[in-house]
Amino acid sequence: MNRQNFLKRSGVIVDTCLHHGTWFDDDEARRAGEYVAAGGQETEDDAKPAARATPLNGAQLLFDTLSKYVR
């Protein structure tokens, strides 16, 4: 497992595994969702608009999935 900052600048350190995906400890999933909801993804997209040809929208997928279960 490797530890990395979720979406590079969120301040949420998550564990990632090449074979098993991203793992969240304690309240990291909530904090990651709050970061995305607060516009963190848009801020990063604005900072580097041409950095990648196909935008990755994993953060939105994560937030949508989590919001189904957390109210």
Angle between helices 28-37 and 40-47 (to 10 degrees): 60
Q: How many domains does the chain have?
A: 1
pLDDT of res. 43: 57
DSSP state of 23: E
pLDDT of res. 54: 53
The SS3 of residue 6 is: coil
Ranges of the chain with pLDDT below 50: none
The SS3 of residue 46 is: helix
Q: What is the pTM of this model?
A: 0.54
pLDDT of res. 49: 54
CB atoms within 10 A of CB 35: 21
Which range marks the domain in which residue 49 is found?
A: 2-69
pLDDT of res. 15: 92
